Chain A
Amino acid sequence: MLITRRVEFSASHICRREGASEEENRALYGAAANPNGHGHNYVLEVTLDGTPDPVTGMVFDLKELKEVLNREVVEPMDHRFLNYEVKPFDRLIPTVENVAIEIWNRLAPHFPAHAKLSGIRLFETEDLYVDYAGEA
């Protein structure tokens, strides 16, 4: 059975490639290349895959899931400037793809085999999201 929990965080970022010209950056990232940054209301959906425990009737304790999401994602990223305040985005461009990979890497170790992290969906806007499941 799959269970999904949704959390939101708001953060700012800049998408620019070092060494690339202004023109190249605009072509690659559009308005997101603005060197002063801009922000989004990110929406993160986290899906666990497991079997309900016969005693508790739960795949995973949702309280604990909420705590893990808050500790690993919301607290470090909410109302932050990703490039300046959240590692590894001091050296990695915080595209929605890279932010999703980082969130996966932060979350995956916290779930047991009987309720493993099955996938995450990260919305940068309502019109753009990525699905990631830890694959290369």
Chain B
Amino acid sequence: MTLTRRYRFSASHRLHSAQLGEEENQRIYGKCNNPYGHGHDYVLDVSVSGPLDHATGRIVDLDTLDRVVRERILDDFEHRNMNVDVPAFADIVPTTENVAVEIGRRLREAWVGPFAGTGTQLRKIKIYETRRNIFELSL
């Protein structure tokens, strides 16, 4: 069984690669290259799987999942300028592909302690940058 929990955060970014010239950045990223940045209301779906704990009727402790996502992701991303406020994006363009990789890395890293011995596994994240742009990463 897989359980999916939805989280939300609003953040801004600017897509600009230091490895490319002005014109090329403009051509590749278009409006997303606007020097002042712009923002999105991101939606983050986190999917986990695991055996049913018959005593609680749960496959994951939701309180723990919420805490891990809040402490490791939302606290750092919510109402932030990702290029400036999130160190991982100092040298990496915060495309939603790269945001997904960073969030995946953080969740994998955070997973071991709180869910040790529970059999609860991290399966997938899905990030909606807008309703039309959706990125999915298996973990």
Measured CA separation A94–B56 after assembly (Å)? 10
| B106 at interface, CB cutoff 8 A | no
Q: Closest B-chain residue to A130, C-beta based?
A: B3
| B5 at interface, CB cutoff 8 A | yes
- Of the stretches A45-53, A62-70, A107-115, A121-129, the one at the interface is A121-129
Measured CA separation A20–B133 after assembly (Å)? 44
Select one of A93, A94, A127, A131 contacting B6, CB under 8 A: A127
Number of interface residues of A (CB under 8 A): 23
Q: Closest B-chain residue to A32, C-beta based?
A: B62
- Minimum C-beta distance from A33 to chain B (A): 11
| A117 at interface, CB cutoff 8 A | no
| B82 at interface, CB cutoff 8 A | no
In contact, A101 and B52 (Cβ under 8 angstroms): yes
In contact, B6 and A128 (Cβ under 8 angstroms): yes
In contact, A136 and B2 (Cβ under 8 angstroms): no
| B59 at interface, CB cutoff 8 A | yes
- Minimum C-beta distance from B9 to chain A (A): 13
Select one of B1, B6, B51, B55 contacting A100, CB under 8 A: B1
In contact, B63 and A27 (Cβ under 8 angstroms): yes
**Known contacts A126-B6, A127-B6, A136-B51, A17 near B1 by CB under 8 Å:** no
Contact bitstring A1-30, B, C-beta under 8 A = 1, else 0: 000000000000001010000000001101
Residues of A within 8 A of B3 (CB): 96-97, 128-131
B residues engaging A (CB < 8 A)? 1-7, 51-52, 55-59, 61-63
Q: List 26 A-B contacts (CB under 8 A).
A: A17-B55, A17-B56, A27-B63, A28-B56, A28-B61, A30-B62, A92-B57, A93-B57, A94-B57, A95-B57, A96-B3, A97-B52, A97-B57, A97-B58, A97-B59, A101-B1, A101-B52, A126-B6, A127-B6, A128-B3, A128-B5, A128-B62, A129-B4, A130-B1, A131-B1, A131-B4
